[in-house]
A and B are shown apart, each in its own frame.
Chain A
Amino acid sequence: MAVKVAGRAASAGPARHGGQPEPAEFIQLLTPEGERVDHPDYPLDISADEIRALYRDLVLIRRIDFEAIALQRQGELGIWASLLGQEAAQVGSGRALLPTDMAFPTYREHGVAWCRGLDPTKLLELFRGVSHGGWDPKAHNFHLYTIVIGSQTLHATGYAMGIQRDGAVGEDGEAVIAYFGDGATSQGDVNEAFIWASVANAPIVFFCQNNQWAISEPLERQSRVPLYLRAHGFGFPGVRVDGNDVLACLAVTRKAMQAAREGQGPTLIEAFTYRMGAHTTTDDPTRYRLAAELETWKLKDPVERVKAYLVRTNSADEKFFAALDAEAAQVGARIRKSCLEMPDPDPRTMFENVYAEPNALLESERDQYLSYLDSFEEDAR
């Protein structure tokens, strides 16, 4: 699979942060103004219906994210990691997956969760502190959120090695996608995953959302070379895509996943995007980045450009947008309601699922603690 690597980009020196300037080479199929462009390596056959569906995904996931931030500000969630600005990277790659593909997210991939059919309420449990992850990974082929940076890339690689051993590599095969950010590329585990995946030729796509910031540290503190070029050092292809372009992300991920499925081994996709919000709700980006940078990226908004396209091509009318607004409001209200109604876990559950086999010590601790709780007069908690 040929990878378009611009010579200039390769020798461009330290990666610049804040999208200043825009990288010389990345795959783009929809400009920020909403115009379709073609790329010879990524022909995209997509209908108006499908684009409207993608737009709906983008709008709804942005609304869910917004509602979650509000809930955190109202004390209903302990923390929330916003995906504002990264909707296209997540929806584009998420919609490129087949149901049998397995996804390993970090903790920000709410857009991918949406595409996998996961009820967004389930995502809230972790952030509300009700559980460490509210869904069964096998039900949606979407692993739990992993908070240790980069750790999941090894799990994903091992899973892909398991696919190989199951003989499930082929045209109708299965593949794995591992999500991580620009900061994670510095972690040993991510680099080890690259080693293992390449040496084993595992059916895995490494999808890096380069949102330019790892909390307060810009990309230039993580790498001297553009991230997608790192793959070459490990011996597999890397490609950079406009992470704010849902069509490009869709096309590039589809192609890479198919290559993995068919046994061509791993690909690194660097989705060049921007973290419009804070790292999490407890972060204050004004302490380390300039407002002007944010302004620049607003002009490249991932959701806006799709709307512009739909309007420009008369692919959607006022009725469509109004109905979508209404649906978004309903989704937001539903998220809010589910969050507020979420019950606290029973203390008993703290002692469950630590081991597969019965454990006498744990059982006696639980029994003692429960009777200790019972020894208090009123139900204070």
Chain B
Amino acid sequence: MTRLALSKALNEGLRKALENDPKVLIMGEDVGKLGGVFRVTDGLQKDFGEARVVDTPLAESGIIGTAIGLALRGYRPVCEIQFDGFVFPAFDQITTQLAKMRFRSRGNLSLPVVVRIPCGGGIGAVEHHSESPEALFTHTAGLRVVACGDPADAYEMIQLSISCDDPVIFFEPKRRYWDRAEVDTAGGLATALPLSKAKTVASGTDVTVLCYGPMVRTCVAAAVAAGKEGRSLEVIDLRSLSPLDTGTIFESVRRTGRCVVAHEAPVTGGLGAEIAARVTEECFYQIEAPVLRVGGFSTPYPPSRLEEHYLPDLDRVLDAVDRTFNY
């Protein structure tokens, strides 16, 4: 076990993937010589060469489009989109081509491409560097969408995503890149939690709190604070946003009877809305209150001096928890 920052855990996972399969490629802007603007790919070009760790032209559509071509040729490209807000030039290739080519070809074509996207706010940045666009991709059939919340998951999930035969949009919580935790880099993936499963990070009895990516740490802190007030929160890190691990979700909500979903993305039309609808439909007789959602407002992401007002924090999560008891 080693204590690693989340970004370093990703680096280790990418390294393992490059070692284990000669078809794995990494491609993106500044990923080679620089090692990535967040150093997630640091050192990899030096060790695996320029053919496998590729500094690409500044063209997101081109990154995904050529990755598709490489995948058609039998490679497993891992693309990096430098920041969440810059995924949009690639949105066409991701949604019209990457997501659909298996279906279009009736299973004849397979595109095992991973698109890594650092996401979320809280880093005091200018526009387009703090987005949470996951709902646009969970709404697109044919894509797997995942989000890691801690270093150990980052290490395992990046490798599982690369070996998955479906295209995976891999969200990395950029403000958690420097969070450290114990990661087992020696063991293999045999005992890793499957990519499609959610993880209960705090067990509780009173309310089920669902979260992913950057909000996991926030919700765990909220659970600790709530515990001191005598309220027991069950916090679940969804990990897989599409498909959702509804089994784990429903089992928990049926036990606790209350549910709060927390994400940075705007509440309106966000993933929380999908979860709330499903929970209400499947757990109708067991919920004591409607499913409440905590998230961004229905505004573009604000200037960094206001982002603390926009991003849901511990107090906003616990406020929602309190409100579920008003019914």
* A contact residues vs B (CB 8 Å cutoff): 131-133, 136-138, 143-144, 146, 148, 151, 153-166, 188-189, 192-193, 195-196, 199, 349, 352-357, 359-361
Contacts and interface: CB of A to CB of B under 8 A. Distances in A.
Given A356-B102, A361-B246, A192 B61 contact: yes
Interface stretch (B92-100, B172-180, B258-266): B92-100
A354 B243 contact: no
A138 B105 CA distance: 11
Contacts of A154: 61-62, 64-66, 68-69, 93
Nearest to A146: B97
A154 B64 CA distance: 8
Contacts of A195: 57, 59, 62
B300 interface: no
Contacts of A148: 92, 96-97
B73 A158 contact: yes
B166 A151 contact: no
B165 interface: yes
A72 B62 CA distance: 36
A356 B166 contact: yes
A361 B144 CA distance: 13
A162 B244 CA distance: 34
A188 B89 contact: yes
Contacts of A161: 66, 69-70, 73
A154 B105 CA distance: 18
A123 to B, nearest CB: 14
Contact of B73 (A132, A162, A354): A162
A297 B50 CA distance: 50
A357 B68 contact: no
Question: What bracket does the count of chain B residues touching chain A fall in?
Answer: 35 or more
B141 interface: yes
Contacts of B64: 154
Given A354-B141, A356-B166, A189 B62 contact: yes
A162 B59 contact: no
29 contacts: A132-B100, A132-B104, A137-B72, A144-B109, A151-B65, A154-B64, A154-B65, A154-B66, A154-B93, A157-B66, A158-B69, A158-B71, A158-B72, A158-B73, A162-B69, A162-B70, A164-B51, A166-B73, A189-B65, A189-B93, A192-B61, A192-B65, A196-B56, A353-B102, A355-B166, A356-B112, A357-B196, A360-B243, A361-B244
Contacts of B244: 361
Of all A-B residue pairs in the complex, the 8 with the closest CB atoms, nearest first, are: A158-B69, A154-B65, A162-B73, A158-B66, A192-B62, A356-B165, A159-B69, A353-B107
A133 B92 contact: no
Given A151-B97, A155-B68, A353 B106 contact: yes
Interface string B202-244: 0000000000000000000000000000000000000000011
Contacts of B101: 144
Interface of B: 25, 51, 56-57, 59, 61-62, 64-75, 89, 92-93, 96-97, 100-110, 112, 141-142, 144, 164-166, 196, 243-244, 246
Contacts of B108: 136-138
Contacts of B67: 158
A160 to B, nearest CB: 7
Given A154-B93, A165-B51, A144 B75 contact: no
A194 B37 CA distance: 26
A357 B165 contact: yes
Given A162-B74, A196-B59, 16 more contacts: A132-B104, A133-B105, A148-B92, A151-B92, A154-B61, A154-B93, A159-B70, A165-B73, A165-B75, A193-B62, A193-B65, A195-B59, A199-B57, A353-B107, A354-B141, A354-B142
Contacts of A189: 61-62, 65, 92-93
A356 B112 CA distance: 9
Contacts of A131: 106
Nearest to A158: B69
A9 B119 CA distance: 49
Nearest to B72: A159
Contacts of A146: 97
A116 B244 CA distance: 43
A163 B105 CA distance: 22
Contact of A137 (B61, B66, B105, B166): B105
Contact of B57 (A188, A196, A356, A357): A196
B105 A356 contact: no
A133 B142 contact: no
Contacts of B141: 354
Contacts of B65: 151, 153-155, 157-158, 189, 192-193
Contacts of B72: 137, 143, 155, 158-159, 162
A155 B75 contact: no
B167 to A, nearest CB: 9
Contacts of B112: 356
Chain B CB within 10 A, most for which of A131, A163, A354: A354
Contacts of A136: 105, 108
A348 to B, nearest CB: 13
Contacts of A160: 69
Contacts of A166: 73-74
A192 B97 CA distance: 16
Chain A CB within 10 A, most for which of B62, B97, B101: B62
A192 B59 contact: yes
Chain A CB within 10 A, most for which of B66, B69, B71: B69
B66 A196 contact: yes
Contacts of A356: 102, 110, 112, 164-166
A136 B105 CA distance: 7
A164 to B, nearest CB: 8
Contacts of A157: 62, 65-66, 69
Nearest to A195: B57
Contacts of A143: 72
Contacts of A196: 56-57, 59, 62, 66
Contacts of B165: 356-357
Nearest to A126: B104
